[in-house]
Amino acid sequence: MFDVIIIGNGPAGLSAALYTKRAGLDTLIIGRDNGSLAKADKIENYFGFPEPVSGEELIRSGIASVKRLGVEMITDEVVNIQYTGNLLVKTKSRVFEAMCVIVATGTSRSTPKIEGLAEFEGRGVSYCAVCDGFFYRGKDVCVLGEGVYALHEAEELLPVTGSVTILTNGLKPSFNVPPYLKLRTEKVKKISGSKSVEQVEFEKGEPLKVSGVFVAVGVAGSTDLAKKVGAQIEGNKIVVDENMSTNVPGLFAAGDCTAGMLQISKAVYDGAKAGTEAIKYIREHKRA
């Protein structure tokens, strides 16, 4: 078991790790890639650089600094967080446990533009299998997504629902489709129904009759993960107090996944604050 697991190795996550590790906490960072900073070509509004610095260079230095301190880092994709008194963090292939988790996963990805998707939200369209799967007991549902995250959501739904079909919306699935799941790869045209979802229509081929559409496109975003563990969200942001605490004990959030400026300096501050608050939380719990 770790003291702290930090999800995300952007400026917020790396900054948090500098604090938790230097306070002697056993810290693991799980990151999928270098986040939005990797896309920034030149940065000239961040402290300490006489010449513009690339996002890649900044992140490489950030990673080197936490590694020098002995922070453990793995490249993996987190698909679920669960509160059990401690916090369980599930990745594509492993489950980790920690007293505290800091979510520093950047801004949530956008949802696909499919007619009917927004209209049927809460009436058949869901973004969380573990939260809403129960409402579809014995019913046929589908999962919209092409990645491992979609597979995870489908497997979560399978024991409770009648059947699960994965819809890749014209993309090639990035995983081997197990025989117990159905697959449709055609482009999705529309989600339709009267009071709630009744079917998915494709650009080619027969419509699929379903009662539920679970959206799991790409990677689990910040709000997807927050919803699964019961953390409050507003729009596409995780709600935190002034200490970067969420409403779930031991769960903190920092950086672009929380409200405020989408800037490196703000992410670094958030990470530092979440890290110091996680240290207090763990020390209090170890004393108790």
User: Which positions touch ligand FAD (CB under 6 A)?
Assistant: 7-13, 30-37, 39-40, 43, 45-46, 77-78, 104-106, 219-220, 255-256, 262-265, 267
How near is the Cβ of 193 to ligand FAD at its closest, in Å?
30
Closest to ligand FAD by CB, 40 vs 130, is: 40
DSSP-derived pairing of the beta strands 2-7 and 95-103: parallel
Which residues does residue 98 pair with via DSSP β-bridges, in sequence order?
A: 2, 87
How near is the Cβ of 126 to ligand FAD at its closest, in Å?
18
Q: In this structure, what token pair is assigned to residue 129?
A: 């299998």
How near is the Cβ of 72 to ligand FAD at its closest, in Å?
14
Which of 283, 281, 267, 273 is closest to 58 using CA atoms?
267
Alpha helix segments (H runs only) across 32-159 = 55-68, 129-132, 148-157
How near is the Cβ of 111 to ligand FAD at its closest, in Å?
15
Closest to ligand FAD by CB, 94 vs 209, is: 94
Closest to ligand FAD by CB, 33 vs 206, is: 33
How near is the Cβ of 170 to ligand FAD at its closest, in Å?
23
Closest to ligand FAD by CB, 55 vs 212, is: 55
Q: What is d(CA 244, CA 103) in angstroms, rounded to the nearest whole number?
A: 10
Q: In this structure, what token pair is assigned to residue 116?
A: 């009917």
How near is the Cβ of 271 to ligand FAD at its closest, in Å?
7
Q: What is d(CA 110, CA 181) in angstroms, rounded to the nearest whole number?
A: 26
Q: Is 82 exposed, middle or buried (0-12, 13-18, 19+ CB in 10 A)?
A: middle
Closest to ligand FAD by CB, 7 vs 233, is: 7
How near is the Cβ of 181 to ligand FAD at its closest, in Å?
21
Query: Which sign, positive or negative, has the C-alpha torsion 220, 107, 265, 258?
Result: negative
Closest to ligand FAD by CB, 125 vs 244, is: 244
Closest to ligand FAD by CB, 33 vs 115, is: 33
Residue 120 CA, chain-centre distance (Å), reads: 22
Ramachandran category for residue 69: left, alpha or beta (phi over 0 → left; psi -120 to 50 → alpha)? alpha
- DSSP conformation letters of 237-270: EE---TTSB-SSTTEEE-GGGBSS--SHHHHHHH
Closest to ligand FAD by CB, 102 vs 191, is: 102
How near is the Cβ of 113 to ligand FAD at its closest, in Å?
20
